[in-house]
Each structure stands twice: as structure tokens, then as C-alpha cells.
Chains A and B, each alone.
Chain A
Amino acid sequence: MKALHNLLEQKVKPHFEEGGKYHKLWPVFDGFETFLFVPGHTAESGAHIRDGIDLKRTMNTVIMALVPCLLFGMWNVGYHHYIALGVDATFMEQFIFGAIKVLPMVVVSYGVGLGLEFLFCVIKGHQIEEGYLVSGMLIPLIMPVDIPLWMVALSVAFAVVIGKEVFGGTGMNIFNPALLARAFAFFAYPTYMSGDKVWINTSVQEGQAVVDGFSGATALGDLATTGTTQYSALDAFLGIIPGSIGETSTLLVLMGAGLLIFTGIGSWRIMLSAIIGGAVMGLIFNIFAQFAISPEQQAFMAVPFWQQMLYGGFAFGVVFMATDPVSGSQTEKGKYYYGFFIGLFAIMIRVFNPAYPEGIMLAILFMNTMAPLIDHYVIQANIKKRQKRLALKTAGA
């Protein structure tokens, strides 16, 4: 370890330092070096001891929470592929097929995203920050499996450049970058992001065809158009349904939520209140289903409120997207309101929006814009309390 560090310090570092051949690429070297070694920086001002946590570990914990969803997503892609083709396949075959489809998306996401981040850091002469580590994993997990890789790349580029770097980089963005990537893909290439062609890979080998009666629609798509679905609530809970790669299994999302809540890195306040918000909207729909304008919508509105949370990306969005501390509400009280309205709007949009059955993306992006307003009012309450105290004092005197 010491030898490796000495090698880096003595042989490599000088090239990147002031006056070195590659000085312009200093942020790249620094990024790699600090990835390998936590630097021996000591506290120079203020407190002399510091907490053992840093942003790298924080981000890493979120990635850990996402891993079960990623692995399950790979298997699920293969599973649905072979069912569509009517071909028997072993668990490993299903998993490997899925991995071959999904891993390139992960590679493209990290490659393009980190590449752009490095580029910006080199141009600005900043240190590389860790923000993209989580976004890079989230983006492939919320894409349909059939999306071309170049679209993933473009979406990532949009998210990194327009979603983050123009605001100043990690910690400065106002929208969740991963969701921006999805929103970009959705509005730019709608035929690749919705409908019933994209969720299951039906690329056929020679002499094969998809089985008769195959429908590639997601459970949520079914519900939105017909009011019913062939997938049971248990299927949806376990995640054996078509959908974006990582979002189908509520069970595994809950496992991730467990890790995030336990470590304190994801806000339980946001998650809890989003579930309450979703349940409230679901219940309202249950009550008013009889007034629906069409039988399909009536059936959709009548879906038991708790089942609404099993379909689509609701759980995934609530646990991994809504809890983004940068784009979400930052005051503890504000987090309750922020989460509640995310849940509420997610279910409302999904039921009422005829163009798009998934509401969580728009709900979170909308609440991203509202988060500063929520915080503003929470903070104003504190300010008013202080002003009232002063007024009382002055009156008393």
C-alpha cells in the first residue's frame, strides 16, 4: 500500500502538478488518487477531529442499496424475454441474457456521465465530485430495456450538462439528475419510452417468433388503458412484471429503503410521507371511482389504494429519487410536506394523465421545483417566531 502510494506520489503526480506535462488533467489524477487513497488532509481550521464519513461513502451506501434492484432487474429482463419467445431457459440463462442487455447501459451511463464530469472539472479546474456515482446507477435502472444505447448516452449528457453542471455541479442542482435523464428520453423519444414495445426485449433468434397473444405492456400500462392487468399484486410486489429495469420489485426496493433508513442516508420522513400521500390519493380514488368518466378509468380508480404503490416506479421513485437531499426539501419539517405531495401527485398523475401512466417521475420533478418554496415557508415560521419574541420584549419594555 505504501509502495503504491509512493509510486503515485513520486512517479505519477509530478506530471500532473503545476508545470507538469499533464497539469491540465490534474482533476482526473486527483479523482483517481482520492478514489484509491483518502488523502492525509488534516483539519486546519475549527474542530481538530472529524467524523469518519465523507461524500464518497455516502454515495457508496446508496449504490449498495441499489444493487439488489440491479441484479434482480437483470434476471427479470431475461425472464420476460424468454417468456415472450416461449423458450425454456434456466435461471442462469435468464440472468446472463439480462446482464448482457443491462450492463452495457450501466457502462454507457457511467462512461458518458463520468466522462462529462471529468471534462467539466478539467475545464473549470475543480476537483471531481462524487455526485454522479449514484445518478450513474439510477439512470439505467429507470430506463426500458429496449432503449438504444445512444439514447441513454444522450439522456445522460442532458442530465449532467443541463441538469447539473450548468448549476455548478454536485450539490447545486435543482432537479434530480437521474429523473431529468428519464424525462429527457421520455419527451425526446416517446416511442422508445412508453407503449407496449419497449419493456420486454423481443429480439428473436433465427427461426423464432414471439408467442401468440404476447403483450409487452406493463401492469401499469394495462391498468391505465383497460383497468385490469394480468399481473397479480403479488407479482408486482415481487417484481416479476415488465417495467423499467430496476423499478419492478417493490420487495427489493424495500430492502434498499431499509438500508437507506438504517444508515440515515435516505430520509425516512420523505419515504413515509410519500407513502401516506400515495395512500391518501389512492383512497380518494377508491371513494370517487363511481364518478369516473369511463369504465376503464373507473376500474383503474377502484384499484385498492395499497396496490397502486406496487405498480410502476412508485416505490423506486419514493425511495431512491424523492430522497435525493440536494433537489428535495432540506428542512426536516419540509420533508414531510415534500414527500406527501410526491405520493399524492404520483397517484393522481398516473390515473388522470391519459398520455402517460407513470406519475412518479413528473410528481418528483414538480416537487423538486416546489421544495425551495416549502423550505421557505418552514424557515419563515422560524423567522416569525423570532420576530414575535422581539416584539413581545419591546412591548414588555
Chain B
Amino acid sequence: MKRLLLGLAFAGTLAVSAAQAQTIVFTSWGGTTQDAQSAFWAKPFSDATGTVVAQDGPTDYGKIKAMVEAGSVVWDVVDVEYDYALQAAEQGLLEPLDFTIIDKSRLDPRFVSDYAVGSFYYSFVLGWNPANFTGDQPATLADLFDTTKFPGKRTFYKWAAPGVIEAALLADGVAPDQLYPLDLDRAFAKLDTIKSEIIWWDGGAQSQQLLASGEAPIGFFWNGRLAALEMSGVDVGISWQQNVTAADALVVPKGTTNKDAAMKFIAEATSPEGQAAFAAASGYAPINLDSADLMDAAVRATLPDAQTAEQVNADLAYWATNRDEIGNRWYAWQAQ
């Protein structure tokens, strides 16, 4: 219902503004992340080009497929998970990016492909509520799975995505460079040991709530959400040991009528300035290698790209290929 109303309101604004200026639609996941994208990507872009950027969301992969198949694409630029972007490109759902408009020479090569560029990259990190643990504080991923040493509920991301499976394997002693191909049997066996203690978080706000209230005193979180909790004055423990990185990507659904403007918007979003400002506001790392110089050193130190020593890069190409298989097992295991 809410979406329908949003849609109607949105259709209304489209009709009104079409006569005045070109409008493109940017879709992302909502919350503070999209607020920052709107403020630091969309606004400067509109100011510079006069193109209106309408915000929509949340991102929905089923909807992207439906739009492209039906030939009525209303989302021009979409923020998606990077592994999904690679898969969607494979399935012919995306427009190739125009690198004469988007300057990819200074973008982190880990997050550049023909059909997608990173929008930001993030780490899954171990987080805990210090109030719940007197004495020893958790430090490693092994601690996250140790319910004797650190009793209580643990919270993990609910949807099948890079992160939790890697954490289970790392906690079980797999070396970071031996992670792929993922040993799913071993990962699920490890997760089985704490299954009754798991509370799943569905979105970032829920993860923050679970941790701050002590409902789940320990868990595996998007680093930006922990940073936001800290900024709001909540005492949070963060360990960057074996933080697992993955990225979001900007993609253009195939068949958009605003291709040119969409490419220009992506160019703005991945510019040094756009990436630096977004990173400072969101706690996620910039994918433009020149952004670091534009940022406050203290802020930089809190971002995933300052934690590369302990970093484990999720193999997003592996995920793109095996997304469906892993997903099917993941959801079946969850429901058992």
C-alpha cells in the first residue's frame, strides 16, 4: 500500500516535471544510505545539469527483471549488490556503461566491470554491545561462534549474500586465501552449532536496534551501521579482524530512455568529490582512489579502506556465478 501511494505520488511528480526538465529515477535501499546518496550525488548532479533526480526504492531484483522484460524501464540508475550486478549483466538485464562519460581510470579496479561500477564498498564486521559482556570482550570471528565464552543471541544478515558464509568458514579456521570455492557443507555445519541462537536482521535499522537494545549482544554487521550507532552516542564494540568486504554497484537497467543522463549521473556519483562526501556521511568506503585525499584523516581511519591489513575480500565473481545455488541452500537451511 505504501509503495502504491509512493508510486502514485511519484507518477504525479513525473507528469508535472516532464514538461520542465529531464528527470531520471535513482533507486536505492532507503534509510541513511540513500539520504547520503541523494544529498551528495543527486543534488550536485541536478545543480550542475538541471536534470531532476527522483528517488525511489527499495531496490528489488524481481522488479528490475520485470521492467526489462516488459520493456517499460522506469528506474534509470539502481544501487544493487555487486555480485547481483555481475549476474544481471550475464542475463542481459543491464546497459553497458559508457566509459567515455564515466572516468574509470581512478576507480578501484576490484569494483569496475563493463556493466557496473562500485557505488561504495563496505565491510561485514564483528560488533558487540560492551554492556553485555563483563570481562573478556569478543575479538575474533571464532568468538562470534563461541557461545560458551560469549553467551547470548547473535545476529546475522538474513538474505543470501557474501558475508555470513565466509565468516563461518573463517571462524572454523579456513585460511582467507583458501575460502573459494566455498565449502558450503562446512559453513552450514559451523552455522548449525549456533543456529538456535541466531536472530536474523533484515535491514540495517533492525540490526542496530537488536544490538543497541542488547536483544542480540553480538553479531555480524555492515560497518556503516555500527559507525552510525557510535555517532549517535551508543557504546559499540567493533573488531576489524577478518572484516569481510563486499560492494554495492551502480547499474543501468537495459532499455532505459535516459541512458545518457544515467551515465552522467554515475560519473558524478563516482567522482572523487561525490565518493568522498558520501563516504564521510555513510561510514562506507569510497571506490574512487582519489577520494581519500579529500577526506578528513580521522574520518578516513574509521572506513573499511583503512583496515586493509585484516581485510578478506569476498569473491564477488564467484558469488555472481553461484548466487542461485548458494541462495537455494541458504534459504532451505534457514527454514529447516
Real binding pair: no
Q: Which B residues have a C-beta under 8 Å from some C-beta of A?
A: none
